Amino acid sequence: MGREIATVGVVGLGTMGAGIAEVMARNGLRVHAVEIDAAALNRGRAHIAHSTRRAVARGKLTAEQAAELLDRIEYTVDLEPLAGADLVVEAIPERLELKRELFRRLDGICSAETIFTTNTSSLSVTEISVATSRPARVVGLHFFNPAPVMKLVEVVRTVVTDPGVLADVEALAARLGKSPVTIGDKAGFIANALLFGYLNHAASLYEAKYATREDIDAAMRLGCGLPMGPLALLDLIGLDTAYEILDTMYKQSRDRLHAPAPVFKQMKTAGLLGRKSGRGFYTYE
């Protein structure tokens, strides 16, 4: 019988981490939400408060449920409160050394039983896991944006993952109302490996001025029945994140499909990161 997961740590409260913390708290888990400094912590808290208010306004949560949800989250800039967590989700920026360093520190703080998960989109879970003394208890737990809405999570196993840990993480995903799919440790896992060649191609079409952003997006929404067009989706994902994912997949496979279109780096450098910065392919309020 697997172990009951009641308390989790979520480290990193950007777009994904804030959404993950919200999903966890919404489903009855106690959450220690961690950011690097007070400003980032406040941004994460505001993101969760906004999303929760929106759920109440749309009749998805009662005001009482929203208050209970928010009560289950404790905010901190320290890792020490994670000592007794049953599971930690890491959702910090997509840089291998940063993630390895975080897990090295967590390894010294958390109980030997704590399961470590990473929300990485494209880095190697194996390389992250070996920064700890417990690689068998480290798995990928990859959510999709917006995390409170998208039903999929990818559970990523490595060659040393303990099958019991995998089962506990799959059970947690189901408890969160998600449908887990399990995959070995390859760049892009399933969804991004298939999605990002398409998104990259859409950015190239736009960059070469073959069509307007509206027409590229309309073609895929209205012609292929997708909920949003590729350029709007890139704005949702974040141009910086999209660039990192493409770059990592390209470096691993050298498949030109994933060679990032130059426009990604240019927009990233200019601070046009998509929705989160107010402007990407489109402009947001």
Q: Which residues are designated catalytic?
A: 121, 142, 154, 192
Q: How far is the CB of 44 from ligand CAA (least distance, A)?
A: 14
Q: How far is the CB of 188 from ligand CAA (least distance, A)?
A: 9
Q: From the CB of residue 76, how many other CB atoms can be counted at a distance below 10 Å?
A: 14
CA distance 77 to 94: 19
Bridge partners of 73, per DSSP, are 31
Closer to ligand CAA at the Cβ: 233 or 273?
A: 233
The DSSP secondary-structure symbol of 283 reads B
Question: Which residues in this chain contact ligand CAA in the complex, by CB under 6 A?
Answer: 51, 54, 58, 60, 121, 144-146, 148-150, 192, 227-228, 233, 237, 241
Q: Establish whether the linkage from the previous residue to 227 is cis, with ω within 30° of 0.
A: no
Q: Where do we find the tokens 């208010």? A: 53
Closer to ligand CAA at the Cβ: 168 or 217?
A: 217
Closer to ligand CAA at the Cβ: 76 or 277?
A: 277
Q: How far is the CB of 7 from ligand CAA (least distance, A)?
A: 23
Closer to ligand CAA at the Cβ: 8 or 16?
A: 16
CA distance 206 to 132: 43
CB neighbour class for 176 (10 Å; exposed up to 12, middle 13-18, buried from 19): buried
CA distance 210 to 188: 28
CA distance 63 to 242: 35
Q: How far is the CB of 108 from ligand CAA (least distance, A)?
A: 29
Residue 51 · residue 78 · CB < 8 Å: no
